[in-house]
């Protein structure tokens, strides 16, 4: 193409490589031998041919490719709810929701699937908007409202006192019965008993 002539618009020419072992063909394409031998007219569906995607000819492979590209949703009955990307914050919130029956002694929930450790695949996260009649009773203030459920639970003073009380009760239950000071164990206890003897 001459230097003075301006190119208007787009032009595209396919760069087809004819596999040959001659050095003249390699020199004209300015490619190394290994790259020229690997490239051909047809490439697998993961690669591009001259920057353009060419779908496979096999209908089974094409259907498999279309299934991979289809969005994973909960179905028409759930209004095509998409899957969520699970971040560490979302993961802790979902685990807390599974264990919500242990958080507050005054609230009771259905058992549900709390025993299964698998997290739900399809879910949505929203913000609770309180009614105007609950302005003084059920509403969270700006100070109490946190980014995640875990942060809200950790900042709640009533729940912290309940957790401490429960932990203390469990420790008292698991504490061994009797006074450990008077138990005689091993050789050192024999020496102590000998020292305590009065003649």
CA torsion sign for 13, 19, 23, 26 is: positive
Tell me phi and psi for residue 4, to 5 degrees. Answer: -75, -25
Length of the chain: 199
Q: What pLDDT is recorded for position 89?
A: 92
Q: What pLDDT is recorded for position 36?
A: 44
Contact in structure between 156 and 115 (CB atoms under 8 Å): no
- pTM metric for this prediction: 0.51
Q: What pLDDT is recorded for position 193?
A: 67
Contact in structure between 108 and 102 (CB atoms under 8 Å): no
**Lowest-pLDDT choice from 48-52, 80-84, 101-105, 142-146:** 48-52
The runs of H, that is alpha helices, within 30-125 are 33-38, 59-69, 88-98
Q: For the chain, what is the mean pLDDT?
A: 75
Spatial separation of the C-alpha atoms in residues 132 and 120, rounded to whole Å: 32
Residue 190 vs residue 41, higher pLDDT? 190
Render pLDDT for 64-82 as a digit per residue (tens, 0 to 9).
Answer: 888 877 788 888 899 889 8
């Amino acid at each position: 193409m001459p230097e003075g002539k301006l190119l208007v618009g787009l032009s595209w020419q396919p760069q087809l490589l004819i596999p040959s072992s001659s050095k003249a063909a390699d020199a004209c394409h300015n490619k190394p031998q290994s790259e020229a031998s690997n490239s051909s007219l047809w490439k697998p569906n993961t690669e591009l041919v001259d920057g353009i995607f060419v779908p496979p000819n096999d209908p089974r492979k094409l259907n498999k490719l279309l299934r991979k590209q289809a969005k994973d949703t909960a179905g028409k009955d759930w209004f095509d709810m998409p899957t969520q990307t699970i971040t560490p914050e979302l993961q802790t919130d979902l685990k807390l929701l599974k264990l919500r029956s242990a958080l507050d002694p005054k609230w009771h929930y259905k058992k549900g699937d709390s025993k299964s450790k698998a997290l739900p695949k399809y879910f949505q996260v929203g913000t609770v908007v309180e009614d105007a009649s609950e302005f003084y009773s059920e509403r969270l203030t700006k100070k109490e409202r946190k980014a995640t459920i875990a942060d809200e639970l950790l900042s709640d003073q009533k729940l912290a006192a309940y957790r401490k009380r429960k932990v203390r009760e469990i420790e008292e239950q698991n504490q061994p019965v009797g006074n450990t000071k008077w138990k005689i164990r091993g050789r050192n206890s024999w020496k102590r008993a000998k020292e305590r003897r009065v003649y």
